[in-house]
């Protein structure tokens, strides 16, 4: 039975991915910052919960201990940063450091720990269209995701035995997206489950390492 680690599995896209993998008879380990929400998700879906914050080295070590052998790592846990979204000219630098710590340094640190366990498996880093498009207010989050894209590309070049993907899932109806637009109605956005088939297609077909948009994978499926 293949094994996957999905960070940020208590809600949103991470939870949807964990549910899809469990339905395919995968063993799934999931983490999340909210122990109560993670426990509920783990019980409802059927995965192993390891609560904690990916920016914490002790928590990353616990995740590594839980995954002696691994077929899939999904770095989904992310931080939006300040809400409402500020311009870069006024972005609090301490908060920006936290965004980079969560969205860039923590995924790379976890990858460094888990590469021996991942062997010839699949690595997925969840990206965003804000990594490649210039949206007002999205400079903090977007630049961090752009850095993660480059980290992903270099890891793919350095580890040809792995399938290494940065995936832009598109705008989804999640709590984090709601924080980006406080007070606005985002009910017109698709649910996270709608992007899951794109991720599963990458697992099934294992195309060359690179950056992929879920919308493109879904259209050509």
Catalytic position from the list 91, 100, 135, 141: 141
Mean pLDDT within 25-53: 98
Strands 210-213 and 27-30: unpaired
**How big, in percent rounded to 5, are the helix, strand and coil portions of the chain?**
50, 15, 35
pLDDT tens track for 112-142: 999 999 989 999 999 999 999 999 998 999 9
Please say if the pLDDT value at position 221 is more than 60: no
Distance CA 203, CA 52 (A): 26
pLDDT attached to residue 29: 98
Concerning whether 91 is annotated as a catalytic residue, the answer is no
- The CATH number of residue 133's host domain is 3.40.50.720
> Which pLDDT band, with edges at 50, 70 and 90, does 33 fall under?
very high
Lateral strand order in the sheet of 210-213 = 48-49, 27-30, 3-6, 72-75, 122-126, 163-168, 210-213
- What is the pLDDT, as a whole number, of residue 220? 61
pLDDT at residue 6, as a whole number: 98
Mean pLDDT of 78-102: 95
Q: How many domains does the chain have?
A: 1
State whether residue 130 is helix, strand or coil.
Answer: helix
- pLDDT at residue 2 greater than cutoff 80: yes
Instruction: Encode 42-65: b = buried (16+ Cβ within 10 Å), e = exposed.
Output: beebebebbbbbbbeeebbeebbe
- pLDDT tens column, 146-200: 999 999 999 999 999 999 999 999 777 777 767 766 777 768 877 889 999 999 9
Q: Which domain holds residue 181?
A: 3-219
DSSP state of 86: P
Mean pLDDT to the nearest integer, 208-215: 97
pLDDT at 182: 76
What is residue 117's DSSP assignment?
H
The number of residues in the chain equals: 221
- Which one, of 71, 123, 79, lies nearest residue 101 by Cα? 79
Residue 36 binned pLDDT confidence (cut-offs 50, 70, 90): very high
Q: Which residues make Cβ contacts (< 8 Å) with residue 39, sequence separation at least 6?
A: 49, 51
Q: What is the pTM of this model?
A: 0.95
* Distances in whole angstroms, Cα of residue 174 to Cα of each of 4, 191, 202: 22, 7, 22
% the chain with pLDDT above 70: 97
Which pLDDT belongs to residue 177?
Answer: 67
Structure tokens at 51: 């609560």
- The pLDDT value given to residue 187: 81
């Amino acid at each position: 039975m293949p094994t996957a680690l999905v960070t940020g599995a208590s809600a949103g896209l991470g939870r949807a991915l964990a549910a899809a993998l469990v339905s395919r008879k995968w063993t799934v380990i999931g983490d999340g910052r909210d122990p109560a929400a993670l426990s509920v998700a783990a019980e409802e879906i059927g995965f192993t919960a390891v609560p904690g914050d990916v920016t914490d080295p002790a928590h990353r070590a616990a995740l590594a201990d839980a995954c002696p052998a691994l077929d899939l790592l999904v770095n989904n846990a992310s931080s939006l940063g300040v809400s409402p979204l500020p311009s870069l000219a006024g972005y609090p630098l301490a908060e920006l450091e936290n965004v980079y710590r969560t969205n860039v340094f923590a995924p790379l640190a976890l990858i460094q720990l888990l590469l021996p366990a991942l062997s010839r498996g699949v690595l997925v880093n969840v990206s965003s269209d804000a990594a490649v498009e210039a949206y007002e207010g999205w400079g903090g989050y977007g630049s961090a995701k752009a850095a993660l894209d480059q980290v992903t590309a270099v890891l793919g070049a350095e580890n040809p035995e792995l399938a290494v993907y940065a995936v832009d899932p598109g705008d989804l109806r999640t709590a984090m997206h709601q924080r980006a637009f406080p007070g606005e109605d985002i009910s017109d956005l698709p649910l996270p489950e709608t992007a899951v088939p794109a991720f599963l297609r990458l697992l099934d077909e294992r195309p060359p390492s690179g950056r992929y948009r879920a919308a493109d994978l879904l259209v050509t499926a």
